[in-house]
Amino acid sequence: MKVGSNRSVSLPVLKDAPPGFHLLSKPSGSTCNINCTYCFFLSKEALYPNEKSRMMNETLETYIRQLLESHKVPQVTIAWQGGEPTLMRLDFFRLAVEIANKYKKPGQEILHTFQTNGILLDDEWCEFFKEHNFLVGLSVDGPREIHDAYRQDRAAKGTFDRVMQGWELLRRHEVDFNIL
């Protein structure tokens, strides 16, 4: 089974799952738009040579349906991470919310969470997060000199200013967010 590839997959039935649990989903695999010096994950692309790792819509629906079905406690977290999940584009997450609402059991409460490097955030992303009460984690390593020493783009340029723009947008749209 390969979740996150372009192939259609069948996911294991989580019949033996505990009543409540937390899964992190990485819909763009290890793909990222930056190149942090300490990243342990980018190199995982080599495990799937010649494949573009993107979760298909069919897999998305199966994943969320099974996640909601498997929970025996009312609170369910749908957590997105990467690589960089914004590379999946906003429509993918609009669909994720739609699917979650479709399969939500009576009495279930869903918390959507999203960990991002913040580079691609714009008004549209932040409006979406606000509308659906996402909890967003923004990756920041500290003040500029520390952040830029490690969190660099593919041209080895620091990303501090771009991440601060994302921070400002999250704040302006009153999105619930924290800093990792």
**What value does the CA radius of gyration of the chain take, rounded to a whole number of Å?**
17
Q: Which of 39, 120, 135, 164 binds ligand SF4 (CB under 6 A)?
A: 39
Contact track, ligand SF4, 95-134, x by CB under 6 A: ----------------------x-----------------
Say if residues 75 and 112 touch (Cβ distance below 8 Å). Answer: no
Q: Which stretch binds ligand SF4 (CB under 6 A): 12-20, 27-35, 59-67, 127-135?
A: 27-35
138 is a contact residue toward ligand SF4 (CB under 6 A): no
32 is a contact residue toward ligand SF4 (CB under 6 A): yes
**Contact partners, residue 25, CB within 8 Å, separation at least 6:** 3, 55, 63, 78, 79, 80, 81
Cα–Cα–Cα angle for 167, 169, 174, nearest 5°?
A: 95
Residue 86, token pair as written in the block: 């914004």
Contact track, ligand SF4, 140-179, x by CB under 6 A: ----------------------------------------
- Angstrom distance (rounded) from CA 104 to CA 123: 28
79 is a contact residue toward ligand SF4 (CB under 6 A): no
42 is a contact residue toward ligand SF4 (CB under 6 A): yes
**Crossing angle for the helix pair 90-103 and 57-70, to the nearest 10 degrees:** 40
Interface with ligand SF4 (CB under 6 A): 32, 34-36, 39, 41-42, 82-84, 117, 139
